[in-house]
Chains A and B, each alone.
Chain A
Amino acid sequence: MKKYSAFSLVKESFNNHLGWEKAWKKSNPKKNYKIIIVGAGGHGLATAYYLGKNFGIKDVAVLEKGWLGGGNTGRNTTIIRSNYLQEESAAIYEKSRLLYETLSQELNYNVMFSPRGVMMLCQTEHELRAMKRTCHANRIYGVDTIMISPARMKEMIPIINIKGPRYPILGGLWQPRGGTARHDAVAWGYARAISSWGVDIIENCEVIGIKKNKNKISSVQTTKGDISCEKMCFVVAGNSSVMAELCGFRLPVESVALQALVSEPIKPVMNCVVMANTVHGYMSQSDKGEMVIGGGADGYNNYSQRGSFQHIEETVRALIETFPFISRLRQLRQWGGIVDMTGDRSPIISKTPVDNIYLNCGWGTGGFKAIPGSGWATAELVAKGEPGELAAPFSLERFKEGRMIDESVAAAVAH
Chain B
Amino acid sequence: MLKFICPYCQVEADETELTPGGEAHLKRMGPGSSDQEFYNYLFERKNPRGIHFERWLHSYGCGKWFHVVRCTKTMEVFGTYSAQENNPPKKILDIVKKRISFGKKIK
Contact = CB atoms under 8 A, between A and B. Distances in A.
Do A and B interact with each other, yes or no?
yes
Interface of A: 239, 241-242, 245, 250-255, 298-304, 306, 308-310, 343, 399-400
25 contacts: A241-B47, A242-B49, A250-B47, A251-B44, A251-B45, A251-B47, A252-B44, A253-B47, A254-B22, A255-B47, A298-B20, A300-B54, A301-B23, A301-B47, A301-B52, A303-B49, A303-B73, A304-B72, A304-B75, A308-B2, A310-B1, A310-B15, A343-B43, A399-B39, A400-B39
A241 B1 contact: no
List the 5 shortest-distance A-B pairs measured between CB atoms, nearest first. Answer: A252-B43, A241-B47, A300-B20, A299-B20, A250-B44
A127 to B, nearest CB: 24
Nearest to A239: B49
A254 B48 CA distance: 9
Interface string B44-60: 11111100101000000
Interface in B51-86: 52, 54, 72-75
Contacts of A399: 39, 42-43
Contacts of B39: 399-400
B20 A241 contact: no
A398 to B, nearest CB: 10
Interface string B28-47: 00000001100110111111
B23 to A, nearest CB: 8
Contacts of B19: 299
A309 B1 contact: yes
Nearest to A396: B43
A385 to B, nearest CB: 23
B87 interface: no
A259 to B, nearest CB: 13
Contacts of B42: 399
Contacts of B46: 241, 250
Most buried by B among A250, A255, A302, A303: A303
A300 B72 CA distance: 9
Given A239-B49, A250-B46, A310-B1, A301 B54 contact: yes
B95 to A, nearest CB: 19
Contact of B47 (A254, A306, A400): A254
B38 to A, nearest CB: 9
A250 B44 CA distance: 6
Contacts of A400: 35-36, 39, 43
A301 B44 contact: no
A295 to B, nearest CB: 15
B45 A302 contact: no
Nearest to B39: A400
Given A304-B72, A310-B1, A310-B15, A241 B43 contact: no
B48 to A, nearest CB: 7
Contacts of A245: 48
A302 B72 contact: yes
B49 to A, nearest CB: 4
A93 to B, nearest CB: 23
Given A300-B54, A343-B43, A308 B15 contact: yes
Contacts of B2: 300, 308
Nearest to B42: A399
Contacts of A254: 22-23, 45, 47
Given A300-B54, A302-B72, 6 more contacts: A241-B46, A241-B49, A251-B44, A301-B54, A304-B72, A308-B2
B21 to A, nearest CB: 9
Nearest to A340: B47
A255 B72 contact: yes
B101 to A, nearest CB: 20
A215 B97 CA distance: 33
A241 B74 contact: no
Contacts of A304: 72-75
Contacts of A252: 43-45
A42 to B, nearest CB: 21
Given A241-B46, A241-B48, A252-B45, A301 B72 contact: yes
A13 B52 CA distance: 56
Contact of B1 (A239, A242, A299, A308): A308
Nearest to A397: B39
Contacts of A299: 19-20
A241 to B, nearest CB: 4
Nearest to A343: B43
A241 B23 CA distance: 14
Contacts of A298: 20
Contacts of A343: 43
Contact of B45 (A239, A241, A303): A241
Contacts of B44: 250-252
Most buried by A among B19, B42, B43, B73: B43
